Amino acid sequence: MSAITDHPSPHAVPFKVPTARLALKPVSPSPGQVELDGAWWPRSRDLSDELPALADVLDPLWGRITRIAVNPRYWPVIPQRILVNGHVVKIGWFTTELDPHKILLLSGTSGRWDLLVIPPEVSAPSAARLMAAASASTTPQSTATALMTAELVDAPCTSADADTGRPDRLAAEMRSCAPPPRP
């Protein structure tokens, strides 16, 4: 004897790529330029994969992102443009004008936004501290490099690290995450 059911057979649901890991400062009532507007912790050093997710999240919050600039020091490949929500976003790079630990996003409607870029290889506790520092509205303003340096100096050493004389974990992560400088 066979049974007949009215339930449809299960079907696969497409996997949605996780959204960008961000921490943003609250909107400030004073229009003065701040050093950082928050922090972004990409999952890889592949800008072609990472930037669409970032711009996709920021478009509704900040207005249409039209241009993005990075320092090429930590990015092995920089695409010329990416497609976000049906529009093209141009990508540029600056070696001396832009902090290597920062990304610049431009919107035609709301201006310039600067985010600390936390290396993808950094541990979750260190990334959480950096994101909190970059997005706090009550702390004094710091540059992206100053925040990264402070986290490197302030990162706690374990007793095992102290016993062996090895540098703390974040220092090792930051040294290992930086590709060789471009000529």
**pLDDT at residue 28, rounded to an integer:** 59
- In this prediction, residue 148 carries a pLDDT of 86
The kind and range of the H/E element at 89 are strand 87-93
Which parts of the chain register pLDDT below 50? 7, 15, 29-30, 156-183
Which pLDDT score, from 0 to 100, does residue 175 have?
46
Comparing C-alpha atoms, which of 90, 88, 71, 54 is closest to residue 145? 71
Put simply, whether the predicted model's pTM sits higher than 0.75 gets the answer no
Distance, CA of 173 to CA of 131 (rounded, Å) = 17
Q: Is 63 exposed, middle or buried (0-12, 13-18, 19+ CB in 10 A)?
A: middle
